[in-house]
Amino acid sequence: MNGAGSRFARGLALGGVASVLIACGTAPVRAPVEARSTPAAARPVAIGSGAVGGRASPVAPVSPSTSAAEASAASAAGAARLPAGAENAGKPGYYTVKPGDTLIRIGLDQGQNWRDVARWNGVENPNLIEVGQVLRVLPPDAAAAAARPGPPIDVARPAVRPESAGSAPTPPVAVPAPAPAPAPAANDDATEWLWPAAGSVVASFDESRGVKGLSIAGKAGDPILAAADGRVVYAGSGLRGYGNLVIVKHNNTFLTAYAHNQTLLVKEDQAVRRGQKIAEMGSTDSDRVKLHFEIRRQGRPVDPARLLPAR
């Protein structure tokens, strides 16, 4: 091969190599394999999740501990809504407040000083009691005694068993002597009563019609007298239907109430004597001048005419 042919052959060879290199350089490059997650349409979405920009927004699952905490809080909130003292409802010596009740009325109906009722229950504002609230209406010792069952009667007998020869006889079981009976309290029913006003009776006791005492007529300013020795537990006008009212506690059994007065002449916690002038007759919260007089035995109204002396 001459020089020209040789050069031509080398040119062809170099061209082929270049073509191959060009072909390799322009070949398509495949993208690397990408691991894809489950399509959004196939992914589960928590019920109640919101939608943001057309996509379901994630919702944090409710953990069992959160549910338990919320349930506990709800239970505590429910317990907090129970009226004060609700755990004592129905127990002896306790009273459940009803609509329209006041501490003054509760004290009168239970035969107690309303201030004692407030103190036994930690009530600082007597105007703040609620329907359903349970109040102690007996002194703590008396309430505990009322709730305490009587002592059990011991009927056990010593077991009878055969005596073996030479053995000592079984000693008898010692039965404790009964405790001595407490000394009788003073007879509160022996209280000596006095008519609280001189006028005539214009309305008689009739509990079935809601008349809880006697109405005694008179003139404005006539004297109202304490029916027996005692201590004033209320003097004021805070009990609807009674006007200017005096309540006297005589002993653990009896209270007396003197209503519709024109003027009150005594104060709470003041000791009074039988026949002492404690008020002047009037017509407050009444349609006429009169004294409405009640005697309460352990809070329950009784007919004063049965206890007052004959005229």
**Looking at the 3D structure of the chain, how many domains does it have?**
2
Where in the sequence is the domain holding 195, given as residue range(s)?
A: 191-306
Is the pTM value of this prediction over 0.85? no
Examine the domain organization and report whether 213 and 120 are in the same domain: no
What is the C-alpha to C-alpha distance for residues 136 and 92, in angstroms, rounded to an integer? 9
* Res 32: pLDDT: 45
Examine the domain organization and report whether 219 and 299 are in the same domain: yes
Examine the domain organization and report whether 203 and 300 are in the same domain: yes
Q: Does any domain span residue 37?
A: no
Examine the domain organization and report whether 195 and 302 are in the same domain: yes
Q: Does any domain span residue 199?
A: yes
Among 129, 145, 161, the domain-final residue is 145
Q: b/e per residue, 84-94, with b = 16+ CB within 10 A?
A: bbeebeeeebb
Examine the domain organization and report whether 220 and 122 are in the same domain: no
Q: How far is CA 45 from CA 56, 58, 59, 259, 262, in A?
A: 7, 7, 8, 75, 79
* Res 84: pLDDT: 85
Dihedral sign for Cα 115, 119, 121, 124, please.
positive
* Res 41: pLDDT: 43
* Res 144: pLDDT: 56
Pick out the chain residues at pLDDT < 70: 1-80, 142-186
Examine the domain organization and report whether 211 and 281 are in the same domain: yes
Domain harbouring 94, CATH code:
3.10.350.10
* Res 69: pLDDT: 61
Q: Does any domain span residue 183?
A: no
Domain harbouring 288, CATH code:
2.70.70.10
